[in-house]
Amino acid sequence: MKKIKELWSRLRGKISGVLSGIKPSSGKFFGKKKEPVDEVTSYKQRLIAHRRKQALKTGAVIAIVAALALGIKFAFDHWSFKEYVIINSSEQEDITSTEYVELDGNVFKYNQDDTALMDTDGETLWTGSYDIVNPQADVCGDMVAVYDKNGTSIEVFDINGEIGSINTKLPILKARVSSVGTVAAVLEDGENTWINYYNAAGEEIATVKTGIDSPGYPMDVDISSDGSVLGVSYLYMSDGSPNTKITFYNFESAGKNQMDNKVGEYEYDNILVPQIAYLDSGKFVAFREDGFTVFEGGTAPREEKTVKVSRDIITTMNDGSHIGLIFQSEEEGSLYTIEVYTTGGRKIMEENCDFSYTDVSMGENQIVLYNSSQMCVYSVKGIEKFRGDMKEGQIKNLFQIGSNRYLEVTENGIYMLKLH
């Protein structure tokens, strides 16, 4: 009992010490003349006010940053460059037999004997060798297939080097690669034509036999980026008139229960469709002689939008996100009219152009036109970004490798250019 009293005495002493350290507020918490202030409520109110103030500050900062970003983007989109600088060059290249393509921000070069990948500083990342008489290349993402046109060899590379080799039994007319390394090859066999589908290791996944009567002659083929869908544009004759049949095959689960793996087929009477290309977001575009048709649907593409034009199309192009057409201009003083559409078929550009081009490429929201001695660059919104004479020699090839960087191949060597 004595111990309990001693313990209670100590506890009262500690409680008294704690209470003595608490001071009354300005509202005289311990008095009776004013109402007591709820400190918890007051704290919450101050916290809410602080958070509101911080939210307003944060919102203001975000708005300012967004406005600056939009302003910078608007300025860049509408900025025109007056000149260029050479940031790298190599005059030891055998450009007479070497071709160049852009590969995932790098430069892939190839010829009959070997290939190499260079970065934008001109440094060689790796080299490879093969024996191909008539090399042609197709690129998808970070994959490239080099095939021997009219030969029987296909070499598949990614940004790290060679990943596979394919040998066909029949001469190759055309080959297309996907971003996963699968390859579709159109093979010639007398009156018949075969479309063979391979993995990067050279194993045959599927084969389609075609004839001029059924389903027709394959004018063009392309593969979806993930390798699941193959699109083919067939030419066939009916009552003496040329017609086109667009067929989609799926060699994965979506097409296993379909006859001949067909997941879509569309016929166009008296219309030629010489080109078909895979776009971003699971879409294909079929370039018709009277415009283009966009197909969407991933595993089983279906018609989404057809855009028809009344003029003859001179050049077609796409960068995965945009579709471009070039016509002879109907305006006096202009040579051409350039039109650009979204993949949904909405026109976002129509510009007359007086630049005389021999070649054109499209990439990263830009259209690059050039001839043997000049270059002209448009944005997909119709802004002329650059036009000028090139002083490095007669141009053999010229294409974009960055937002304002370009690779120029001339008779004297190769040059990395930057607009400024």
Give 193-227 pLDDT, tens digit per residue.
999 999 988 999 999 999 988 899 999 999 999 99
Q: How confident is the model at residue 107 (pLDDT cuts 50, 70, 90)?
A: very high
Residue 24 confidence (pLDDT):
44
Residue 1 reports pLDDT greater than 90 = no
Angle (nearest 5°) at CA 315 between 309 and 318:
90
Residue 256 confidence (pLDDT):
81
Q: Where are the beta strands (DSSP E) in 279-412?
A: 283-288, 291-296, 302-308, 313-318, 322-328, 336-342, 347-353, 359-363, 366-370, 374-379, 384-389, 395-400, 405-410
Residue 16 reports pLDDT greater than 70 = no
Residue 51 confidence (pLDDT):
78
Residue 121 confidence (pLDDT):
81
Residue 9 reports pLDDT greater than 60 = no
Rounded to an integer, the average pLDDT of 274-287 is 94
pLDDT in tens, 18-44: 444 444 444 443 344 445 556 666 766
Mean pLDDT for the chain? 87
Q: How confident is the model at residue 132 (pLDDT cuts 50, 70, 90)?
A: very high
Rounded to an integer, the average pLDDT of 156-163 is 96
Q: Which of 159-168, 206-215, 240-249 has the lowest mean pLDDT?
A: 206-215
Q: How confident is the model at residue 48 (pLDDT cuts 50, 70, 90)?
A: confident
Which has more pLDDT, 86 or 54?
Answer: 86
ω into residue 135 within 30 of 0, thus cis?
A: no
Q: Which of 46-50, 280-284, 311-315, 355-359 has the lowest mean pLDDT?
A: 46-50
Q: How confident is the model at residue 112 (pLDDT cuts 50, 70, 90)?
A: very high
Cβ neighbours of 11 (radius 10 Å):
10
Pairwise CA distance, residues 80 & 405, whole Å: 14
- Measured CA to CA in angstroms, residue 405 lies from 94, 126, 153, 392 at distances of 22, 22, 33, 16
Question: What is the model's pTM?
Answer: 0.80
Residue 331 reports pLDDT greater than 50 = yes
Pairwise CA distance, residues 342 & 229, whole Å: 22
Residue 92 confidence (pLDDT):
63
Which has more pLDDT, 75 or 182?
Answer: 182
Q: What is the DSSP letter of 4?
A: H
Closest of 278, 355, 348, 284 to residue 315, by C-alpha: 355
- Percent of the chain surpassing pLDDT 70: 86
Residue 352 reports pLDDT greater than 60 = yes
pLDDT in tens, 281-297: 889 999 999 999 999 98
Q: Partners of 250 in the beta sheet?
A: 229
